[in-house]
């Protein structure tokens, strides 16, 4: 019985390792590593999209860092012996304000990318746009196996 369990465990680990290697390779799409599937991009389009993505990432990184700190503070505020709901509610409002800023920047970035595309490319981009992060109604790993990519947030497919 132990021998069967050991063999099953080894096979399971092997399958896990092999499947992770397959998923790691999925990111090599039309835009290269981890980008959203946009067919037939020219070199010029790729260069322009990459510049937009890099600029967007530089712009949102401080907001993401701030959001992480705010969420950590919220966890601290909500896990003490005496929870001050006024402070919790204020923190939630502050977090919402930063999330709104990020959403506006994400949408502006998507529109900047869309302006660079042909009609056919735009259709494909729009079909994959919004996938990521595993949120309800969205793909759990974005269109190319990478979470939260603009197609949704920081490039023609971006990281969190």
The predicted model gives 77-99 an average pLDDT of 96
Q: Which residues contact 19 (CB under 8 A, 6 or more apart)?
A: none
Amino acid 154: pLDDT: 45
Chain segment 37-64, per-residue pLDDT in tens = 788 999 999 999 999 999 999 999 999 9
Q: Which two tokens stand for residue 40?
A: 């037939």
DSSP element (H, E) containing 51? helix 43-78
Give the Cα separation of 95 and 79 in Å (integer): 17
Q: How confident is the model at residue 128 (pLDDT cuts 50, 70, 90)?
A: confident
Contact 102, 67 (CB under 8 A): yes
Amino acid 138: pLDDT: 42
Chain segment 17-32, per-residue pLDDT in tens = 555 544 443 333 333 3
């Amino acid at each position: 019985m132990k021998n069967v369990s050991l063999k099953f465990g080894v096979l399971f680990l092997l399958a896990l390792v092999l499947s992770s290697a397959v998923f790691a390779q999925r990111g090599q799409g039309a835009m290269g590593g981890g980008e959203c599937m946009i067919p037939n991009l020219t070199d010029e389009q790729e260069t322009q999209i990459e510049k937009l993505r890099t600029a967007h990432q530089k712009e949102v990184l401080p907001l993401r860092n701030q959001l992480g700190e705010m969420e950590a503070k919220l966890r601290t505020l909500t896990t003490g012996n005496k929870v001050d709901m006024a402070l919790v509610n204020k923190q939630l409002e502050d977090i919402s304000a930063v999330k709104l800023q990020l959403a506006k920047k994400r949408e502006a970035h998507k529109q900047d990318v869309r302006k660079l595309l042909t009609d056919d490319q735009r259709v494909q981009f729009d079909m994959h746009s919004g996938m990521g992060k595993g949120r309800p109604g969205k793909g759990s790993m974005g269109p190319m196996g990478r979470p939260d990519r603009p197609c949704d947030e920081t490039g023609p497919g971006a990281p969190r």
